[in-house]
Amino acid sequence: MQKKNTKSLTRLLSALFFSAAMCIVFTHNADAKGAAVLQPSDCIKCHSKEPRSIEENGKKHQTDVTCLDCHVEHPPEGTNAIPACSMCHSGEAHYQLENCMGCHSDPHQPLNLQIAGDITGPCLTCHEDQGFEMQDNPSKHTDVSCTFCHNVHGLIPDCSKCHEPHVAGQTTTECLACHPVHSPLMIEYPMTTPRPYCTACHEEVGELMEQTRTKHQTFTCAFCHRGEHPNVPLCRTCHGEPHSQTTHKKMPECLECHLDAHNLVK
Ligand code: HEC
Ligand code: HEC
Ligand code: HEC
Ligand code: HEC
Ligand code: HEC
Ligand code: HEC
Ligand code: HEC
Ligand code: HEC
Ligand code: HEC
Ligand code: HEC
Ligand code: HEC
Ligand code: HEC
């Protein structure tokens, strides 16, 4: 109880002092009733931190608005000293979010973002496409938040931050050639994909291909296994039926004679 009294007394005193100070500072700027009228240039006389903050990195809150556009009133007379963001920002999904200052931690440096914790929903107010891609292609990446990977806004992580490559030296760009990161199980690769990138997991097939003496020996795996992993082609897709109809009728399986797709015998 006593504490509260002391506090309100301090408040009263500071209000009195403040009103007096305002009069001293602003006697040259008065409204019709003779009360002090603040100009943007006055603020710095008593507040050093905020003007400096804006000066350093105020972005459009420096160029497009003044202190007074936001702080339309001043204590002790005015109770509406702190503006709501919605005073100027409304009408878009992003502006319906809660706790704007949870991310825009300093209204005087609005793009100085503090992105902390696991965040997904708020990101989708601007990056809807990535959200749909994740939902339409469920993978273990769908189970983590956007900020699990993008912990600083706009930062693109290397895969190696969290994964071992299949083959030493594989770069993130190469990973992305097979795995679109927001749908990593939609694995599709170009025909030029080097063989070691496949034999990392299909070692035996690689060894068989080393043995064949036919023209197949030099092919990349992806030349035949085109498109989506693990697509398996038919010999007929490329060769049709090159022998006599009698042969193909009697022995419809090409591999009855050519033995193995990878260690092809001619
Ligand atoms: C004569 C000194 C002085 C000037 C000039 C001044 N202020 Fe203040 N301002 C203060 C003091 C002292 C407080 C603390 C008052 C309080 O808490 O009751 C304060 C508080 C504030 C607050 C916080 C209000 C709250 O409710 O927490 C804002 C915002 C503010 N000032 C903005 C401004 C702006 C914008 C300007 C220029 C247009 C300005 N001030 C000019 C002295 C000044
Ligand atoms: C785009 C709107 C906007 C502009 C422009 C702006 N402010 Fe603020 N200001 C705010 C908001 C919002 C807060 C409340 C911050 C909080 O709650 O932490 C605030 C807080 C303050 C405070 C109180 C700080 C505290 O710790 O209580 C002062 C003082 C202040 N501003 C001064 C200024 C001055 C001086 C300028 C111009 C150089 C200015 N502001 C420009 C939005 C603005
Ligand atoms: C008095 C009006 C006003 C208030 C209040 C206000 N803003 Fe702004 N803000 C603007 C204007 C004007 C712009 C520039 C045009 C735009 O981007 O809409 C802007 C731009 C921004 C930008 C982009 C900055 C840039 O340089 O691209 C962010 C972020 C922002 N505001 C966040 C906030 C947040 C968060 C709040 C509440 C703490 C807030 N604003 C309160 C007027 C305001
Ligand atoms: C989860 C974090 C987060 C929250 C919460 C958040 N923002 Fe943002 N906001 C961002 C990010 C990230 C950007 C993009 C910044 C960039 O372009 O560099 C942004 C950009 C903006 C911009 C400028 C660009 C634009 O497209 O409008 C404004 C204005 C803005 N926010 C206002 C707000 C307001 C108002 C709120 C509360 C209703 C809010 N923000 C809540 C993260 C957030
Ligand atoms: C208010 C809109 C807005 C919000 C909210 C927002 N962003 Fe952004 N984001 C942008 C803009 C604008 C860019 C810059 C785009 C560009 O450079 O083409 C960007 C860029 C990015 C980039 C880099 C893109 C590139 O091509 O390098 C990533 C990654 C990103 N945002 C992730 C996120 C994540 C994660 C969140 C949630 C924490 C988020 N964004 C919230 C507007 C937003
Ligand atoms: C597993 C890590 C990871 C997760 C989770 C993740 N991203 Fe990304 N994101 C990346 C990587 C890596 C890139 C670079 C992709 C590229 O260059 O093709 C990227 C690129 C982006 C881009 C740039 C444009 C694009 O699509 O290439 C945006 C925007 C983006 N992410 C937003 C998001 C959003 C929103 C979420 C949550 C729904 C999210 N990301 C989840 C790793 C991730
Ligand atoms: C910030 C960490 C992080 C980054 C960066 C990251 N991932 Fe992942 N990724 C994970 C986690 C966690 C899992 C689930 C792992 C598990 O359960 O063992 C995963 C799983 C995967 C899976 C298996 C998906 C499934 O559903 O089985 C693939 C494929 C994958 N990541 C590829 C990539 C590629 C390619 C990149 C770079 C473009 C990348 N990741 C970047 C964290 C990450
Ligand atoms: C030539 C295409 C290709 C490249 C390049 C590639 N991957 Fe894969 N990755 C695959 C295939 C295929 C799978 C197995 C999918 C399955 O199990 O059905 C896989 C599986 C994964 C998995 C799931 C766990 C596992 O090991 O089975 C992760 C994680 C992964 N890749 C990450 C990466 C990363 C990181 C890179 C880059 C360093 C990368 N991949 C490069 C094709 C590729
Ligand atoms: C990270 C390990 C990994 C990599 C890299 C990988 N695969 Fe696979 N592959 C697997 C696994 C696991 C299976 C079996 C599960 C399945 O069907 O997805 C498989 C199955 C296959 C199948 C057999 C399908 C069937 O019906 O029997 C083919 C064909 C195949 N992969 C081709 C390739 C090609 C071509 C590449 C390189 C472009 C490649 N794989 C890269 C792990 C991998
Ligand atoms: C993606 C297309 C493709 C597929 C699938 C394919 N081949 Fe081939 N094959 C070729 C090409 C291209 C050549 C070389 C033709 C040339 O240089 O005249 C070739 C050559 C051959 C040759 C002659 C080899 C030599 O050294 O003269 C035989 C035999 C053959 N293929 C059999 C098969 C059999 C059997 C299958 C199924 C197991 C098959 N091929 C699947 C494209 C394919
Ligand atoms: C000339 C085309 C061709 C090339 C090149 C080729 N494959 Fe195949 N692959 C096939 C055909 C056709 C089949 C189906 C064989 C069958 O029906 O028994 C097959 C089957 C497979 C299978 C599943 C059955 C098995 O044998 O394990 C895997 C895995 C596979 N290939 C991986 C690879 C890898 C890895 C490479 C590169 C080292 C590769 N293939 C190169 C045509 C090819
Ligand atoms: C009855 C055994 C037999 C069957 C079944 C068979 N082949 Fe052959 N094929 C051979 C022999 C032997 C040769 C090598 C002699 C030659 O050049 O005619 C050959 C050669 C080929 C050549 C190379 C032709 C050239 O001009 O160099 C291709 C391509 C080929 N076969 C594809 C196929 C395909 C595709 C099938 C299945 C649709 C198939 N074969 C079924 C025995 C067979």
CA distance 28 to 42: 12
Nearest to 87 by CA among 109, 70, 108: 70
- The alpha-carbon radius of gyration of the chain (Å, integer) is 34
Which residues does 61 contact at the CB level (< 8 Å), separation at least 6? Answer: 54, 70, 107, 108, 109, 110
pTM of the full structure: 0.92
Q: What is the pLDDT along the chain (266 residues), one digit of tens a residue?
A: 344 444 554 454 454 445 545 544 444 455 555 556 788 899 999 999 999 999 999 999 999 999 999 999 999 988 899 999 999 999 999 999 999 999 999 999 999 999 999 999 999 999 999 999 999 999 999 999 999 999 999 999 999 999 999 999 999 999 999 999 999 999 999 999 999 999 999 999 999 999 999 999 999 999 999 999 999 999 999 999 999 999 999 999 999 999 999 999 98
232-239, long-range: CB < 8 A, 24+ apart: 235/261
For atom 19 of ligand 4, which residue has the closest CA?
111
CA distances from 168 to 8, 59, 172, 199 (A): 69, 44, 12, 13
Name the closest ligand to CA 254: 12
CA distance 198 to 196: 5
What is the phi/psi pair of residue 119, to 5°? -125, 130
Residue 87 contacts residue 98 (beta carbons within 8 Å): no
Q: Is the CB of 58 under 6 A from ligand 3?
A: no
For atom 43 of ligand 2, which residue has the closest CA?
70
